[in-house]
Structure 1
Amino acid sequence: MIDLNLLRALDALLETGSVTQAAERLGLSVSAMSRNLSRLRTATGDPLFVRAGMSMVPTPHAVALGDRVSGLLAEVSAVLAPLSGKVDPAALNRAFSLRANEGFFHRFAAALIVKMQEAAPQARLLMASKPAKDATLLREGAVDLEIGVLGAFAPEIRTRALFQDRFIAAVRPGHTLLSGPVTPERFANCLHVVASRRGLWAGPVDQALAELGLSRRIVAVVAGFPDAMDVARRSDLVAQIPASVLSDDLIEVPLPVRVPGITISAMWHPRLDADPQQRWFREMVFSTVRSKEAGRS
């Protein structure tokens, strides 16, 4: 008889490349994970992982299996999950995965973790960064839920709008920009820091300034909004961030030019649509966002 737990073990080993880290991910002891690796080697007739210095590397056969394992696990979970009935959060012992950018986690992660732990003490949450817009992880079942701006996304993906956001400028207390009206000219004459996962130096704000014959001096591009705010609180640079992620120690400055707002949405694969546990998890995220947004308004 095939033990489906071996598929989970193989998936964790392929993802981490480490017996120790795979054991931690699945909540097993290192010795139990080592036994799983031995059973996998016996079942497949392949060593699967071999030593390369201080680390382990997968064999070609393991790499080939890796393209199929995560999809198989997602399909098995979908087949065995009940289609109806209530979820008992107290008995829920599993991990959920959420993919979003640093700004979303900065605002909502702590509240979501507390809310989930109060309702389901044995549930776990894996929060993954979002370097780019890509539906691959949702399609492969590697991510349960993704948060972000829709853009050109896969047509089959389920979506739900969470909240409207807008871009603002953020400065430290005492910044010279606060000493008078924030005109486009005064704004453009400041030094600026922007966040861009793709390393872009210009965006809608710069286009709007250009229409007025102005340009701002961007002296730094950072990876995420928390980094931009950290620069702003330690310097005279002006940070461009969404209003939803503004920290209490910075001061909001409305942009002196008109730029489009953004809609932040949740996205998930249709294979998870009817899963009661996934529905419970999504509602945890939705209600956390609603509570935080209500407190901000």
Structure 2
Amino acid sequence: MIKKIILFIIVTVITFPLFAKTSVNWSFDEKNDELQEFERKLVKYLDNLGYDEEVDFLSYSNSILTLSLFDKEYRAPIAKDYVDEAIDSILLYNEAFDSKSDEKIDYFYQKTFSSTAPLKRGSLYYALNKDGKKLALMVVDKNNPASTLLGLYSKKLVTGLELKKASPYVISIATGLIFSPKLILNGDITLKNQSLLYPFNPAIKLKVVSNAYNTTSYLGGVGVSTCLPLSTFYPRAISLLRNTSIVAEAFIYIGYNKKVVYSAGWDIYLSNMLNEHFGFTVGFEKTIAFNKDSKYALLENTELKLGVVIR
């Protein structure tokens, strides 16, 4: 009888884990893929937000992580493919990021942010953390009833960040390259106001352009520019994609090349912001020019454009 009882106990102890739910506390140092991914992303998000608070990972059981952050305890589900959402559940609407400003990011949607403040459409704003660090450059795309903002440049953002108005002016300096029949280098400088008539922004450009016959034209023009931020479609993508915009422009010029020159042109390019003040551009530009005596075009160039953006 005693032997049967002992055998029963042994069998029960051995088979119990097969039927019971696991409840094991994992140290964060253990090589668990989900924990590794959660730690890496959370630390990166906090770094982007300018915070260096200590994070205490307390326990992990049944895909639920218990951690201490900002003097509070959180329980976050971190099942596979749910890491970003788990972090958002902790960081969004967290008092640690609330600036208490009237103009701030109030809501976070799948692809946009919004503010309940009456922000003027086309206005540009920086998103700031509590220390005044700039985390994003955003444009007000709509303003009824709430103000919807699109990111031109951004790190990881959360609600509660203060919005501070930014200058609408941006300068672009570019070099144009023509490879046929020989290498020709052109150059231009453009000044745009990105708020005045949003989304179609007025611009002025000064341009030096040559042709295959070594004649150089000096042009000044006015035009219109518009851009489509890719953050509209890819708000969570890598920064190279998220901080890129497609820009299209059209200009009319008047200038000089031994005689008065009349010209027109258009360009389309990608503009990637490396931070809130500086970026680079790559694309193409088409320019055609005449003078009053020319039967044919004085020049007709298609250029590969490489440039920088300064704001």
Query: TM-score by structure 1 length?
Result: 0.32
Larger-gyration structure (1/2): 2
Structure ranking higher in strand proportion: 2
**Looking at both structures, which has the greater relative contact order when contacts are Cα pairs under 8 Å and sequence separation is at least 6?**
1
Query: TM-score by structure 2 length?
Result: 0.31
